[in-house]
Amino acid sequence: MATPISHSDGLRRPGTKPLRSSSPKTQYLILYNFVSAVLWATVLGRVLMLVPLVGFGRTYAGVGNFAKWTQTIAVLEIVHAAIGLVRAPISTTGMQVASRLLLVWGIVNNFPSLAKSAGYSSMLVAWSVTEVIRYSYFVLSLSGYSPGFITWLRYNTFYVLYPMGISSECWLIYKAIGPASKLRQEYAWFLQLILLILSGYGFICSVYTYDVTTAKGHEGQGKAVV
C-alpha cells in the first residue's frame, strides 16, 4: 500500500543552509533512508531492464527475492515509530508495512506463478518509484536541504502511483484466493477480507484524489478569470 502523504513534514524554506548535524539519530536516519533509496532504485532498474528483455513472466526470477528482502527491511520503520525515532503513528506505519509484507511473503512467495502477470511488475514499479522519491526526500530534508523538485514529485506522483500500486495489489490478492483455498480455506477467507479492505480504502483515496484534482482545476480557472 502506498505511503500516505502528509503536509506536516516540516519543510524548510528555500535558501536555508544545510545542517551539519552530528546527532547519531540524524546520521542514522540519513544512512537508513539513503540505503533504502538505493535498494529501491535497484529494484526499479531491474524491473525496467527485465520487462523489455524477457517479459513479465521472468521478472520475478530476476528481481523477486531482492524486492522481497528490500521490502522486509521496512520493518525497521515500525521500530522507528515505536521508539519515537521518527514522528509517525505506529498503527498506520504497521498497517502499511504489513500489507506489503503480505504481498511479498504471503502471496508472491507462496504462489510465484502469480508474479508472471503484468500486475506484479506494475506493483514493483509503483512501489519502487514511490520509495525512491520518498527516501530521497528524507535524505535531503534530514541533511538540511529544501528539495523543491523532489517535494513536488512526492506530492504529485501520488495521484498516478497510488492507483497503479493498489490496483496491482488487489489483482494479485484476488488471483491468490483460488490457490490459497487449496491450502487452507481460512487462508482464502483472510485474503478475501484483505481484498475488501484494500478495495474500500482504494475507493476512498480515489475519491479524495478526484476531489483534490477537481479543486485544483477550479482554482486554476478562477485565477485565469482574474
Q: Are 180 and 187 in contact (CB under 8 A)?
A: yes
* Angle in degrees, CA 107, 110, 115, rounded to 5: 65
Please spell the DSSP secondary structure of 162-175, one letter per residue.
Answer: HHHHHHHHHHHHHH
Q: What is the gyration radius of the CA atoms in the chain, in angstroms?
A: 19
162 tagged catalytic: yes
Q: Could you identify the residue written with the cell 481460512? A: 186
The Cα 175–Cα 192 span in angstroms is 10
- The catalytically annotated residue of 162, 174, 201, 219 is 162
169 tagged catalytic: yes
Q: What are phi and psi of 103, to 5 degrees?
A: -65, -50
- The catalytically annotated residue of 159, 169, 201, 219 is 169
The Cα 53–Cα 137 span in angstroms is 31
The Cα 158–Cα 168 span in angstroms is 15
Cα distances (angstroms) measured from residue 61 to each of 67, 108, 109, 129, 185: 11, 12, 11, 20, 28
Q: Which residues are catalytic?
A: 162, 169
